[in-house]
């Protein structure tokens, strides 16, 4: 299906797709005129017209961040609607879209509402108040909410039944025998754990937890002819999907809330149930805190987690057909406005479709991928002197690219060998997101138990991972690991490891600097680069960096490492200014950056200046961008592309041509205000020419992609690339997998034995 074609309702659908299957598209050009972009997804951003002679600070030169986040989610939803994507992977993308929307309301809408309540009138970079942004967000989110339901109910659900023999039914579709079996299941498994909560003068309106699924039950007392209300929390601990008995389908499910709805009268004998409607609340996760005033950061975060449970509700999702009086009761008790209510055309919470995407049906999934062992690490044990990772790194730097190359066989191996090596004196790491069962954490525990000095900075303010990080940190403290919980006023987002080993009577350093987290699961799903090195300058810098993290050293000096917020902005702005100087002196200025998001005003302003000077700039930005590319006179020489595929593009790479002597950095920071101003970030230059050349080839391949890439225009519209009739398809991620396999075979690669 080509981008300009509108998909018809699938053949398996028993009723026509409703109006709005492909929502009307909005596009506002530089002059403010409405336009339609055929075949492109809807978009939320609405840039202002650029007045003649506008300075680079003018709001019309910037996209709105919140609306840009929604537009990223439109691109994710498109993957669920793309016929070229395997069916269960389409279901997975639908679930991811729904989960992203939940997080958007918790963080972004919650933050805007808090600003509105506080009377904040500060304008966004694109010149809008919090109230104006909320109005635009509400309209755009409602459109996305409807599109989610349509994609599930009118395409994916019928396709699952017709093609994969996976049926997801409503109660009304089941026969008498199936209903009887589910009623027995209700009696045996669900009824005992339900707790109906009445609401009357003696029973206040109950607390409803964030993102929980509930039923609002309206009933009549037959003898008194009085109306009553009760809330039931739908139990999902045994799963959202209940298997349907006596089914001809290989897999047949019904949502658990429908089983409860069909049998709800059993909970209220003597009452007439008028309606039992599903609803769901989303609470604000943007809780205000003051790190600077905290005496105990760990206690502060623990308190924040408790506060989140009772934070204000920012969204109410209701089932279609909910009685008006019930909806009004919920709006009143939850202190909401009518605009905060989202009516579901089908079921609530499509994020639960992720469980369906995990069904064991490999023919409807991506072809399995097993990361290969990086070529330099395949030759351990060749001689007595080359039996460990340290001897390999002494020969030269090793660049690893996950998930194409194995995290277990490279970074994890470094930490595990360091834990077991009797010559290793110390291991120091930053942990942003990880799990208590992580092999990396287990290796750190083992190292501490063996008497090595182990120091770990655990970032307990990592959003939505606070509880896991606190548990992991306390477990490490129990065995003697020196744990630091972050810096006051700054979130530590760096991804670095330092190993100190005694060799020939003196300490020697071995390091890892990466773009991603030390999390075994995400290393198989996120694309990230890492540099493993024994370079003594980088080693000294990391020694100083950890002294800065764990002690008092605000003026710490670094030779190779670039650290935010201290130096990073200056270093990047100097490199951009250098490209401008090269261009203006008759050379060729060139910048390529691959990052997750771009919203920092200072960096965008510098890029606009570079474009005006003639510097050629390519930005590979997976998520949102506030920069408007292709604006005449401002960003004519800037191109922005977003890549979305089976792996989440997560690496941060910055390339500067430097008049023919290129500089290339990798690390943890995006060009976002929070990364450059509010976080401790690290970038490191890639010094080895061969490794630098390999990374440049990766960047160039990303820019050539015509399968996963989306081009952003000056109006904010993303259009997915499609190969022309005479062109081969270039799938960036697929080609990197094939390249990794080819390099592994050429080096005599073998499967890596995973650590237990």
Give the catalytic positions in this structure: 493
Tokens for 607, please give them: 């890029």
Cα dihedral 579, 124, 76, 603 in deg (nearest 10): 10
The answer to whether residues 99 and 175 touch, using CB atoms and an 8 Å cutoff, is no
Tokens for 736, please give them: 């990197």
The answer to whether residues 436 and 426 touch, using CB atoms and an 8 Å cutoff, is no
Helices assigned H by DSSP within 566-615:
568-584, 601-612
Listed residue (67, 88, 243, 102) closest to 159, CA to CA: 88
For residue 591, what is the enclosing H or E element?
A: strand 590-595
The C-alpha angle with vertex 216 and arms to 211 and 222, in degrees rounded to 5, equals 165
Which residues neighbour 319 within 8 Å (Cβ) at sequence distance 6 or greater? 277, 278, 279, 343, 344, 348
- With residues binned 3-state (H G I as helix, E B as strand, rest as coil), the percentages for the chain, rounded to 5, are 40, 20, 40
Listed residue (561, 562, 580, 560) closest to 571, CA to CA: 562
User: In DSSP terms, which residues pair with 229 in a beta bridge?
Assistant: 199, 218
Q: Label residues 716-752 b or e (16+ Cβ within 10 Å = b).
A: bbbbbbbeeeeeeebbbbbbbbebbeebbeebebeeb
For residue 610, the SS3 value is helix
Listed residue (237, 209, 329) closest to 275, CA to CA: 329
Cis peptide before 346 (omega within 30 of 0): no
For 62, list phi and psi in degrees, rounded to 5: -135, 145
The answer to whether residues 732 and 401 touch, using CB atoms and an 8 Å cutoff, is no
User: In DSSP terms, which residues pair with 627 in a beta bridge?
Assistant: 62
Q: For the chain, report the end-to-end CA distance as a whole number of angstroms.
A: 45
CA distance 199 to 368: 51
Q: Could you tell me whether strands 653-656 and 453-458 are parallel, antiparallel, or unpaired per DSSP bridges? A: unpaired
Q: Tell me which DSSP letter residue 153 carries.
A: I
The answer to whether residues 507 and 501 touch, using CB atoms and an 8 Å cutoff, is yes
């Amino acid at each position: 299906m080509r981008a300009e074609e509108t998909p018809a309702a699938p053949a398996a659908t028993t009723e026509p797709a409703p109006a709005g299957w492909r929502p009307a598209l909005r596009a506002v050009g530089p002059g403010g005129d409405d336009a339609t972009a055929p075949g492109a997804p809807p978009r939320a951003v609405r840039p202002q017209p650029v007045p003649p002679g506008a300075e680079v600070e003018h709001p019309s030169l910037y996209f709105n961040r919140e609306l840009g986040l929604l537009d990223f989610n439109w691109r994710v939803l498109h993957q669920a609607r793309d016929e070229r994507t395997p069916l269960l992977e389409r279901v997975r993308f639908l679930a991811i879209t729904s989960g992203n929307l939940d997080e958007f309301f918790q963080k972004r809408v919650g933050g805007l509402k808090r600003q509105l309540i506080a009377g904040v009138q500060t304008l966004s970079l694109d010149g809008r108040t919090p109230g104006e942004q909320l109005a635009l967000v509400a309209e755009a989110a409602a459109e996305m909410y409807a599109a989610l339901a349509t994609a599930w109910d009118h395409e994916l659900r019928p396709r699952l039944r017709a093609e994969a023999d996976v049926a997801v039914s409503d109660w009304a579709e089941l026969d008498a025998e199936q209903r009887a079996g589910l009623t027995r299941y209700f009696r045996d498994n669900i009824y005992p754990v339900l707790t109906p909560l009445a609401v009357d003068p003696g029973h206040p309106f109950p607390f409803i937890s964030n993102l929980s699924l509930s039923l609002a039950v309206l009933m009549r007392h037959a003898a008194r002819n009085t109306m009553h209300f009760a809330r039931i929390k739908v139990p999902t601990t045994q799963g959202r999907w209940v298997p349907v008995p006596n089914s001809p389908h290989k897999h047949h499910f019904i949502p658990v809330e429908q089983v409860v709805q069909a049998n709800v009268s059993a909970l209220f004998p003597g009452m007439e149930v008028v309606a039992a409607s599903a609803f769901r609340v989303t609470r604000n996760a943007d809780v205000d805190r003051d790190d600077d005033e905290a005496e105990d950061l760990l206690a502060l975060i623990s308190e924040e987690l408790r506060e989140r449970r009772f934070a204000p509700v920012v969204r109410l999702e209701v089932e279609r057909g909910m009685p008006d009086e019930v909806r009004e009761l919920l709006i009143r008790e939850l202190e909401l406005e009518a605009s905060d209510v989202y009516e579901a055309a089908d079921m609530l919470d499509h994020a639960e479709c992720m469980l369906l995407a995990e069904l064991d049906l490999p023919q409807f999934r991506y072809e399995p991928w097993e990361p290969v062992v990086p070529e330099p690490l395949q030759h351990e044990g060749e001689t007595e002197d080359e039996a460990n990772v340290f001897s390999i790194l002494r020969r030269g730097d090793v660049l690893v690219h996950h998930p194409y190359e194995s995290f277990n066989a490279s970074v994890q191996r470094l930490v595990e060998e360091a834990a077991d090596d009797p010559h290793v004196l110390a291991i120091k790491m930053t942990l942003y997101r990880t799990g208590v069962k992580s092999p990396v954490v287990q290796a750190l525990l083992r190292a501490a138990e063996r008497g090595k000095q182990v120091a770990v900075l655990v970032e307990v303010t990592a959003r939505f991972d606070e509880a896991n990080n606190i548990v992991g940190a306390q477990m490490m403290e129990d065995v003697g690991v020196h744990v630091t919980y972050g810096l006051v006023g700054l979130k530590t987002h760096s991804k670095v490891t330092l190993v100190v080993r005694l060799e020939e009577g003196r300490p020697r350093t071995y390091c890892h600097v990466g773009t991603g987290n030390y999390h075994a699961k995400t290393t198989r799903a996120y694309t990230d680069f890492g540099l493993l090195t024994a370079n003594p300058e980088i080693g000294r810098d990391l020694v100083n960096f950890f002294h800065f993290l764990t002690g008092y050293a605000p003026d710490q000096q670094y030779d190779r490492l670039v650290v935010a917020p201290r130096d990073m902005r200056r270093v990047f702005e100097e490199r951009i200014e250098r490209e401008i100087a090269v261009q203006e002196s008759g050379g060729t200025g060139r910048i390529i950056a691959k990052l997750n998001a771009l919203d920092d005003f200072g960096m965008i302003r510098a890029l606009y200046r570079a474009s005006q000077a003639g510097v050629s700039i390519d930005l590979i930005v997976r998520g949102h961008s506030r920069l408007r590319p292709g604006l005449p006179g401002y960003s004519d020489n800037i191109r922005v592309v977003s890549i979305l595929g089976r792996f989440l593009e997560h690496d941060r790479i910055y390339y500067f041509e430097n008049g023919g002597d290129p500089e290339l950095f990798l690390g943890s920071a995006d060009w976002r205000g929070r990364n450059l101003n509010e976080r401790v970030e690290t970038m490191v230059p890639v010094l080895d020419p061969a490794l630098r050349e390999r990374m440049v080839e990766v960047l160039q391949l990303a820019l050539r992609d015509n399968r996963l890439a989306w081009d952003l225009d000056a109006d904010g519209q993303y259009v997915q690339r499609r190969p022309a009739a005479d062109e081969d398809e270039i799938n960036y991620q697929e080609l990197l997998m094939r390249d990794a396999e080819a390099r592994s075979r050429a080096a005599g690669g073998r499967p890596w034995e995973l650590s237990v």
